[in-house]
Amino acid sequence: MDKLHMKLMFEEARLLYPGTKRGLEVEWEYFWNLKKFAHRRSEIVSLMVPAIKRQIVRHQDTTDFVPSWKNFKSWVYNEYWTLEWGSKDKNAPVACKNCGEPSTGMYGNTPHCRKLECKAAAGDGCAKYLIEQGQK
């Protein structure tokens, strides 16, 4: 997919997104310059519109808690187009990505339990620091 086509798809997603957003050029330059997405930009822009549509429906059709809309920049950076709510069993706990126990929190999009090691594995910088200092 060429850059122009990607930019048009990105603009469609940006306009559809209900949260706070900046202008096309500012948002596009931010997205384009993120090195972590450089090798998969076309895949990402093709996933954005369907993800936003699903999330809009989720916000409208649920009585459960749904987090407020992030800034578009945050939604992009934290890869919220990958976010799926719930499971087939609404009461099933979300498992910690590191050990599989029921999660007690989220770091970005990664669920974790109370263990310091699991928080660190999820990307929590404070937990990593405490482990490095020998504190448990």
Mean of all residue pLDDT scores within the chain: 81
Specify the number of domains making up the chain.
2
Q: Is residue 87 part of a domain?
A: no
Please check whether residues 117 and 65 belong to one and the same domain: no
Q: Which domain holds residue 76?
A: 3-82
Please check whether residues 77 and 97 belong to one and the same domain: no
Please check whether residues 9 and 54 belong to one and the same domain: yes
Query: 101: Cβ–Cβ under 8 A, 6 or more apart, which residues?
Result: 95, 113, 115, 118
pLDDT per residue over 44-59, tens digit each?
999 999 999 988 888 8
Please check whether residues 78 and 110 belong to one and the same domain: no
> Is 7 a residue whose pLDDT tops 80?
yes
Please check whether residues 15 and 48 belong to one and the same domain: yes
Chain mean position to CA 74:
8
pLDDT at 90 (0 to 100) = 46
